[in-house]
Amino acid sequence: MPQINEDNVNQAIYDYAWERHGEILERYMDEWEDEFPEKEEDHPPGLAYKDLFSWIMFEKELPGTGRTLAELFAEDTPGLSEEMKDNLYRMREVIRSEFEVIEKDGSFLNLEDTASEKIYNVKMHEELPISPKTVVRGRIHPFDDHYRFVGIFFVTNPIPTFEIDTLMRTYEDSKLEELEDITLRDSTALRTVLNKYPARWIDHMCKHFGIEARLKKEKVEMIVEKLVNDMPRIISTIPEKSKEVLALCIDNGGVVKYGTLRDYDDDFTLFWKKERPVSTIGLLRMRALLLVGKMSIGERRYRVAYVPNEIRDGLRQILPRKIATLDDF
């Protein structure tokens, strides 16, 4: 048998299935077809069987075994690496959803689950001409450090591109306003704000800081810990203009009315794109060094830029005091 790798593992499982469990497959295939979750999908000609068998290989437990074909293949095939065995056992962790394409890089798609807002790096079976903002419906499962499509996925994009752009801008503006309406107080904890942020923002922060965790709560705690314990190195990597913004806020107690920063570039969107130039203020927000929300000052509620309490002391020791206190705040 040739060395099993990501490119040939599906075919190897298929061949194993018919060689070792052919009688069971012939006996139950018609019955399982009725159980197949995607049986009502409008499959392209000739691909319904492929989609069905992908479900059988990765998700359906064979009678009397309690294991899928992929798992049985892992147990019965000598010479498999531990990494490949782990991948085979994880194949049943299938995620079904509609996903929006955030970006495309060769045969990989950066997909956002429209239900959970989680971001997945998904490898296609072959490179296809799929553009950002396209919505795909299907199944994915984990493999190594990424995900892969299971069987067939369906592209659903009935809205003309110019209408999508308009709708997306409206949606982004609305969601961003909602996130910037978070109430901030002098005692507000950074983790409290981060827990209200979309999962994709937290995932991007983790990727930037090299943090690996599964649960959002764990990710938030590790982000806060990273900022507190590694502040000098983090600040050393940001541009001087961004440092000026932090210094301005720190010199004024850690918070300023947002209009005070009018001279600094603040382009920021709901969806962060790695290819888009990062603005002075946007960079700080993407690293949780600066929060934007609403704070009551006197009898009015103002939009403010807020340096998290947890990192203020550390910043005071690092940043030069070169911005005068704002008397009108």
Its pTM surpasses 0.75: no
**Domains 95-156 and 164-318 in one fold:** no
Beta-carbon contacts of residue 218 (< 8 Å; ≥ 6 apart): none
Across the range 14-18, mean pLDDT stands at 93
Cα 9 to Cα 73, 127, 262, distances in angstroms: 10, 18, 56
Give pLDDT tens digits for 239-285: 999 999 999 999 999 999 999 999 898 877 656 554 444 789 989 99
Q: What is the pLDDT of residues 54-97, one digit of tens each?
A: 999 999 999 999 999 999 999 999 999 999 999 999 999 999 99
- What is residue 44's predicted lDDT score, i.e. its pLDDT? 77
pLDDT band at 151 (very low <50, low <70, confident <90, very high): confident
- Non-local CB neighbours of 189 within 8 Å, separated by 6+ positions: 308, 309, 310
Nearest-angstrom CA–CA distance, 105 and 138? 19
The CATH fold assigned to 95-156 is OB fold (Dihydrolipoamide Acetyltransferase, E2P) (2.40.50)
Domain boundaries, the chain: 9-90, 95-156, 164-318
Asked if pLDDT for residue 322 goes beyond 90, the answer is: no
- Range 164-318 classified under CATH 1.10.10: yes
> Which tens digit of pLDDT belongs to each residue from 152-188?
888 876 444 444 444 445 556 667 788 888 999 988 9
